[in-house]
């Protein structure tokens, strides 16, 4: 079966965008058709313009299309990446998810493989609760959670989070980090293909 993977991210300063790019490269190499998409920004333009790093990232990624309900219907697998905010997913991603009621109501999100990644400023900044709370949403969709688990030794080398890769601000995107993200993306593609 052909895997059509929507990699949907939200990123204020670029961390989750970089994670999504690494995942997209690995998923394409595994044979998936990939759409790299961002959650629409909900913060006021004046707020973004007032923070140089936020504005610079927004300008650098202006070419990345915003996700739509149609993208979610097109895909048969999803990889969602968003930073944690107070222990849950950033509001921009949640706002997009909250627009999917129509797709959900007709079963358009059910039976699809879903995995998630996150980031935070510090190692215990809420990454695990962010991922677990999002997986509750996936269960409401009728989706199939595809967490990386401890299916590759690199999971232990990058923090030991079995729910999904989580990045700590300031951590280098070294070979282990890239390998952990790539492993999660390949695992998602593999499971999605088996679900057929």
- Region 4-195: CATH code: 3.40.50.360
Residue bearing tokens 């923070």: 51
**26-43 confidence digits (pLDDT tens):** 999 999 999 999 999 999
E strand residue ranges, 100-181 = 113-120, 144-145, 166-168
How many helices (H) and strands (E) the chain has is answered by 9, 7
Cα-flanking dihedrals φ and ψ of residue 9, to 5°? -135, 160
Element (H, E) at 139: helix 127-141
Measured CA distances, 35 to 3, 47, 173 (Å): 11, 28, 22
Domains of the chain: which residue ranges? 4-195
Model confidence pLDDT, tens digit, residues 123-179:
888 999 999 999 999 999 999 999 999 999 999 998 889 999 999 988 999 999 999
Q: Look up the pTM and report it.
A: 0.96
């Amino acid at each position: 079966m052909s895997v059509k993977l929507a990699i949907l991210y939200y990123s204020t300063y670029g961390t989750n965008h970089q994670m999504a790019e690494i995942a997209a490269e690995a998923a394409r190499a595994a044979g998936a058709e990939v759409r790299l998409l961002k959650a629409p920004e909900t913060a006021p333009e004046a707020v973004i313009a007032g923070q140089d790093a936020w504005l610079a990232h927004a300008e650098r990624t202006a070419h990345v299309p915003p996700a739509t309900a149609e993208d979610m219907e097109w895909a048969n697998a999803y990889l969602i990446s968003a930073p944690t905010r107070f222990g849950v997913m950033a509001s921009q991603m949640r706002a997009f998810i909250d627009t999917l009621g129509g797709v959900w109501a007709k079963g358009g999100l059910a039976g699809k493989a879903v995995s998630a990644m996150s980031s935070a400023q510090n190692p215990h900044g809420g990454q695990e609760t962010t991922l677990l709370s999002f997986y509750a949403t996936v269960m409401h969709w009728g989706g199939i959670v595809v967490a990386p688990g401890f299916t590759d030794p690199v999971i232990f080398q990058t923090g030991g989070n079995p729910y999904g890769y989580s990045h700590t601000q300031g951590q280098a995107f070294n070979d282990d980090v890239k390998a952990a993200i790539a492993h999660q993306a390949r695992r998602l593609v593999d499971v999605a293909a088996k679900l057929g």
